[in-house]
Structure 1
Amino acid sequence: MNTPTQFKQRLASELSAMATHPAPAPAPAPAPATRAPARRLRLPFAIAAVATAAAAAVVVPTLTGSGSSPAYAVTREDDGSLTLLLNRPEGLPGLQKQLKKMGVRAAVLEGDKNCPTGAPPHAPWATAGYALTFPSDPAKAIVHPDMIPDDTVLSNGRRVAGATLLIVAEFGKDNATKAVSFRLVSKVPKCSVPGIGGGPSAHA
């Protein structure tokens, strides 16, 4: 038997053996490691509730302005009165907005000596009374909301509209508050002269 014939027979025998006894299948590759899900940090409910309550409670004082002192501030006192601080003219719009937000019928104007209508008339049913008082601190005033008359129905059935607290501020050449006065009015004017009564004529 020549060599090629022997080689063919041996090859045929090996192939036959491989077909009868197949090689074991390779072991499966290990599954890729599963990445554990990232843990989400959760703020405890009690802490979140306290933080929310604290944020809701801080409503005053409200400050604005770029100077060393706030242009205005409003603080609610324990007796329901409001302490106002007005240092500069740019605080007027914010002061009026804050008073409205706190449920006070008030209007705040800068006094204008050239106002053609002069001083607005008093509300006919309102007393001059203590709707606004002044501590010794020059730029401060205290609003007493319960002294501002509400809408009233008279004994004859006539309804009288409530008054509005008009606050008129006057500023010096350095833009510091020079004087604050007030009046209870039935209609808010577009302008007013300063020193309309119901307050000190000037602050030091």
Structure 2
Amino acid sequence: MNILIIYAHPNCKSFNNAILKQVESSIPSTHKIKTIDLYKENFDPVLKFDEENKRRDLAKSPETCKYRDMIKEADKLIFIFPIWWSGMPAILKGFIDRVFVSGFAYSYKKIGLEGHLKGKSAWIITTMDAPAIVVPLFNDYGKVLKNQILKPCGITPAKLTSLATVESSSQEKRESLLKKISQIASNI
């Protein structure tokens, strides 16, 4: 299986980075893994519409061609990112805006969208500082990604792993969470 990890956290010493390393090392070696680290790549998240950049041409943009090719080749997408201010990091939102575009990830039908990325699955791993008990009260962007972005593009099933109260968690708790992530990754 071809697996593409899309990672969005600016600090290489963060818990999100520990999750990334745990996922990469726990996926069985029978799978081929590629990782897009949006911050390391200095991905430009700014979507531009002007005389030179037409919305209808986004699926042909040479700036995002390599990312579309990586997504086409992948059987499974793994997203790893923190929830900040009840949303995903801007760099990841910009990646979705610029790469998951009409003509590539979907097209319009009379009613709704036609997903072009069928046959792919996803695993979304999010971290947040909010306690787990309040997470259902807020707009968890892991759920938004799963239900309002990936599903309309044809990517199903999508598993969501939300890790709450990360900032104040003990080292023991973090090790327990990493073990949970490792177990899931090892069964891909």
Taking structure 2 as the reference length, the TM-score comes to 0.27
Higher CA-based Rg:
1
Of Structure 1 and Structure 2, which has the larger fraction of its residues in helix?
A: 2
Of structures 1 and 2, the one with the larger relative CO (CA 8 A, separation 6+) is 2
Taking structure 1 as the reference length, the TM-score comes to 0.26
